[in-house]
Structure 1
C-alpha cells in the first residue's frame, strides 16, 4: 500500500474515540464523509480512492459515511470492503453508514427493501450497519410508511441502526412518537451554523438520539487556507460543490468580513493549543450537547490528505480541551452574526421549500 498520503507522526496519536448508537453500533467520533466522490467535487480515481481508504483505517478513522445518491461512493466502499476480506489478514472493524434518499413515489415494502438490497450489493455486505433516511417533501406523508418498513426490516436484521438525515425537530418528534427508534440524525452543525442548539439538541438528549454533523469545516473554508484571503466569488475560486454551498451559508450568516474575524479568533485559539484552526472548529462542534460525531469530507486519493488526517485526529484527541476563555472569544464573534433559525428555519429546512 502506498503511504504517499500519510505522514508518520499521525500513527502515534491517541486512539480515535468512539460513540455507541442506540442499537449498539460503535462509530468513530470523526467520521469519514464520502460526498466528495459523488462527482460534484471533480473526477475520482477509484483505485486511488480505495487505497486512500486503507490509509484512513490505518490511522484509526474506521467509520465511513456515504449515500445511494453519492455517485459511486457505495461501490468504492464495496471494492475496499472486498479487498479487506480477501487480504487474508486480520482487518480492523470498519463501520459503513449509508443513506436511503428515495425520489417521491410509492413507499411500499418492496420498494424500500429493493433499495436496501441495492446498497448491500454495491457495498458488498450481508446487512447494513446504519441506514440514514432522507425525505424531500414533508407534505408527502409517505415518509412515515417508508420508516415503518425500515423499522420492520431492522427487526428482521437487514439493518442495525435506523437513522435520519436532515429531519427537523418537529418531524423527529412525530416519528419517535410512533414507536420508531431513531439512532441518529445527520444535520449541518458548525461554529457558523448553530441551528441544532435552538431545539434539536434538547430533544435528542431526551430521546437517546445522537447528532452526526456535517459542514463542520464549511467545505474547507473554515481552515487556515482562507485566513486573510480576499473573498472568493467566482466558479474558479469556488470550484467544488462544498465550497459553493458553504460560501452561500457564510453570506447568509454574516458575510466575509465577519467570517474573517472568526478565522482570526479560531487561529488565536489554535495557537494556544498548538493545533490547526480546522482542529479547533471541529472540536467546538464535538463538544456540543448531543453531538456523537462529526463528518469530515475524505480527500480520497487527493494529495495533502495526510495533513487532513492529522487535523481530524488532533480534533478528537483528549489533549485538546477548549477552555472557557476560548469559547468566550469564539462566541464574541458568533453573537454578531444573523439568526439562521429565523432566516432558514430548523435543521434541514434549507433542503425544503
Structure 2
C-alpha cells in the first residue's frame, strides 16, 4: 500500500489528504466507548492516517484525542513518538470577543487535547450580522503570532466573508466546507478565490453521511426516522432532496457504481476521489465513528480513496457529471458554502 498523500498548509503544517473526522462523537450517532475509541484511533495512525479533525463542540472528541495523544506519547521515547496532526474548531456563541474570551477557549481545547499548542484552529461564526467575528479573528491572528496556534483556518465561511477577512491581512490556511458529488457549491465561487490566495478547502459530507455508498444503490427512499437513524443520514438526506430527489440520486449512484466497477474499487472511493481531485481541495474529512458499537472501520477504503493507483479518467468524470448537470442549482436554492447554517 502506498504512503498516504500529504498536503502542506500555508503555515507549514503537513496533513494527510484523508482526515479522520470526529463529528460522529458529538452525539446522535450512538454511545461512545472512550477506551475503545482510543484503541481504534491507533489503528488509523498505524495505517498512516495521522490527521484528526474535531471541535470544541463535538462532545468528548477533544478529550478522547487527548487520551489517545497521552497514550501515544507514553509508548515511545520522546524523539520517536509518531507524528499526528490535530485540527480543532473554535465555535463560540455570539457575544463579546475580547482577547481574554478567545484565549480562554483555546487553552481549554489545549488542556482537553493534552497539547502545548494547537496545530490548527478552524473558526466558525453563526451570525454574519454580528461583526464581532472580526474581533475574534484579530485575536486569533495575534495568538498565532505568539505561537499558540500554528494554522488559522475557517469553517463554513462563504466567499464574501473569506474575501473580507483576508483583505484585513489575516492569513487563512483553509476553509472547511461541505463538498461532495451532490453538493458542488465550492466550485462556483470559492474555488477560484482559494486558488489565488493559497487557501485549501477541507471537504466534509463527501459521502453524504453514508448515502453515497452501495448500501443505498437500488434502495427504496428512506423516510422514517428509524431509516435515518443518525444525524449524518438525516442531514444529508435533506441535502439530496434539495439537490434533485431520490430518483436522480439513484441515477448518480448507478453512474458512480459503473465507475467503481471499472476501477476495481468501492462506490464510496469513487465519490471521495472525485472531490479529492477538485481544484483547491487539500483534503477530505471522512467520518470515523470511533468507539461506537456496530460502526465499521474503513481504514482500507480510506487508503484506497487517496491511493496513487486510483485514477479517474475523463470518461469516468463525464459519466458522473452527465447526472449532476441535471440537478438543481444549490447556489440558487441554498446559497454559498455554509449558508445552510445561517438561514
TM-score grouping bracket, smaller chain normalisation: over 0.9
Q: Which residue of 20, 35, 39 corresponds with 1:47?
A: 35
Q: What residue is the counterpart of 1:149 in the other structure?
A: 139
Would you say 1:57 and 2:48 are equivalent positions? no
Would you say 1:209 and 2:199 are equivalent positions? yes
Q: What residue is the counterpart of 2:174 in the other structure?
A: 184
Q: What residue is the counterpart of 1:79 in the other structure?
A: 67
State the Cα distance separating 1:119 from its structure 2 match.
0.1
Q: Which residue of 264, 268, 288 corresponds with 1:298?
A: 288
Distance in structure 1 (CA, Å) of the matches to 2:73 and 2:317 = 44
Distance in structure 1 (CA, Å) of the matches to 2:296 and 2:310 = 21
Q: What residue is the counterpart of 1:257 in the other structure?
A: 247
Would you say 1:276 and 2:266 are equivalent positions? yes
State the Cα distance separating 1:88 from its structure 2 match.
2.8
Distance in structure 2 (CA, Å) of the matches to 1:96 and 1:71 = 16
State the Cα distance separating 1:52 from its structure 2 match.
0.3
State the Cα distance separating 1:300 from its structure 2 match.
1.1
Q: Which residue of 213, 229, 233 corresponds with 1:239?
A: 229
Distance in structure 1 (CA, Å) of the matches to 2:287 and 2:67 = 19
Q: What residue is the counterpart of 2:22 in the other structure?
A: 34
Distance in structure 2 (CA, Å) of the matches to 1:155 and 1:68 = 22
Q: What residue is the counterpart of 2:326 in the other structure?
A: 336
Aligned residues: 340
State the Cα distance separating 1:304 from its structure 2 match.
5.6
* 1:46-195 matched pairs, under 5 angstroms: 46-88=34-76, 90-195=80-185
State the Cα distance separating 1:67 from its structure 2 match.
0.2
Distance in structure 2 (CA, Å) of the matches to 1:304 and 1:169 = 35
State the Cα distance separating 1:305 from its structure 2 match.
3.2
State the Cα distance separating 1:311 from its structure 2 match.
1.2
State the Cα distance separating 1:40 from its structure 2 match.
2.0
Q: Deviations over 1:35-90 (max 9, x none)?
A: 00001211100000000000010111000000000000000000000101111353
What SS does the corresponding residue of 1:42 show, helix, strand or coil? coil
Distance in structure 2 (CA, Å) of the matches to 1:169 and 1:290 = 13
Tell me whether 187-196 or 296-305 shows the greater mean CA deviation: 296-305
What SS does the corresponding residue of 1:107 show, helix, strand or coil? coil
What SS does the corresponding residue of 2:308 show, helix, strand or coil? coil
Q: Deviations over 1:150-173 (max 9, x none)?
A: 000000000000000000000000
What TM-score results when the alignment is normalised by the length of structure 1? 0.95
Q: What residue is the counterpart of 1:266 in the other structure?
A: 256
Q: What residue is the counterpart of 2:4 in the other structure?
A: 16
Q: Which structure 2 segments of 5+ residues have no match? A: none
Distance in structure 2 (CA, Å) of the matches to 1:63 and 1:35 = 14
State the Cα distance separating 1:299 from its structure 2 match.
2.6
What SS does the corresponding residue of 2:221 show, helix, strand or coil? coil
Distance in structure 2 (CA, Å) of the matches to 1:179 and 1:49 = 40
Q: Deviations over 1:20-44 (max 9, x none)?
A: 0000000000000000000121110
* 1:306-325 matched pairs, under 5 angstroms: 306=297, 308-325=298-315
Distance in structure 2 (CA, Å) of the matches to 1:200 and 1:191 = 16
What SS does the corresponding residue of 1:185 show, helix, strand or coil? strand
Distance in structure 2 (CA, Å) of the matches to 1:194 and 1:273 = 23
